[in-house]
């Protein structure tokens, strides 16, 4: 038996990147999964690859009617809802605050925050009636530290963390858990998309991004979708049944600060400049 045997999950943004990796792992662990996305071609391939325990539904997570239809589709097809993973996301426009168009702000907030709100809002009644369920959202280390994302992206992810904690207090009384994951540098197409590349071209940036990301945190490799999928698996499973209102940081240690070796090298440079011997 798998760790999710008999459970039913929805994963938004499920056709690629972290979402696809999580769909694959959840199915392997025995879950029936609805993958929600706007990438119909990738969604169709996902169903072809994984078979009957996966259903794809086209969903704009910022549209309330779409979210309601996604959840209704899941319950009608599989009979219940045990896990919702609010994972769909976009990178958002970077640059100085004065240069960010208001419509860009609205779009990023609509997907990253409104989408999470709508997911929780419409999953909660079903899970509360069942008196069981796990709601997981993808936040980011950009929501807990500055310098890891654009202004609007960072603000939206910080709001996701606080919404997680707030709703966990309410829904916990019905035995429904609400948690979020804060990924660090994960090699997915979103980095290429943030640079303005088309989706197909962005897919080709994954391997080069691994080489970049493996240098920036204490653990000397890039994060990959499987790292976040494993975290989501734990939060979706009964193994985490006493965990709620938590932001789980999965970042290879990047939020710990400057790498130890870099800090030591800086100390040695300072000591040399001052003409002081450093034997430590």
- Which distant-in-sequence residues (6+ apart) come within 8 Å of 45 by Cβ? none
Phi first, then psi: give them for residue 22, nearest 5 degrees.
-75, -40
The number of angstroms, rounded, from the C-alpha of 92 to the middle of its chain's C-alpha atoms is 15
CA gap 74, 9 in Å, rounded? 8
String of DSSP letters for 195-207: TT--HHHHHTTHH
Look at residues 199, 195, 181, 275 and name the one whose alpha carbon lies nearest to residue 236.
181
Known catalytic residues are 153
Distance CA 198, CA 83 (A): 31
Q: Residue 115 and residue 141: Cα distance in Å, rounded?
A: 19
Distance CA 278, CA 267 (A): 9
């Amino acid at each position: 038996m798998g760790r999710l045997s008999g459970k039913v999950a929805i994963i938004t943004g499920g056709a690629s990147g972290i979402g696809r990796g999580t769909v694959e792992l959840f199915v392997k662990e025995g879950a029936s999964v609805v993958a929600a996305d706007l990438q119909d071609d990738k969604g169709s391939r996902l169903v072809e690859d994984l078979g009957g325990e996966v259903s794809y539904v086209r969903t704009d997570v910022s549209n309330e009617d779409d979210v309601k239809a996604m959840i209704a589709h899941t319950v009608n097809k599989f009979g219940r809802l045990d896990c919702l993973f609010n994972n769909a996301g976009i990178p958002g426009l970077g640059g100085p605050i004065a240069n960010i168009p208001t419509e860009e702000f609205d779009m990023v907030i609509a997907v990253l925050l409104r989408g999470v709100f709508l997911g929780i809002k419409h999953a909660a009644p079903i899970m509360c009636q069942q008196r069981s369920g796990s709601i997981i959202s993808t936040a980011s280390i950009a929501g807990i530290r500055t310098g890891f994302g654009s202004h609007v992206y960072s603000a939206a992810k910080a709001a996701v963390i606080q919404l997680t904690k707030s709703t966990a207090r309410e829904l916990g009384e019905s035995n429904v858990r609400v948690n979020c994951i804060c990924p660090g540098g994960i090699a997915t197409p979103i980095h290429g998309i943030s640079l303005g590349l088309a989706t197909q071209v962005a897919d080709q940036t994954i391997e080069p991004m691994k080489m970049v990301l493996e240098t920036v945190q204490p653990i000397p490799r890039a994060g990959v979708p499987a790292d976040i999928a494993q975290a989501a698996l734990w939060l979706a499973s009964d193994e985490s049944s006493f965990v709620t209102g938590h932001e789980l940081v999965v970042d290879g240690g990047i939020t710990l600060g400057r790498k130890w070796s870099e800090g030591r090298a800086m100390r040695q440079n300072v000591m040399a400049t001052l003409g002081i011997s450093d034997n430590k």
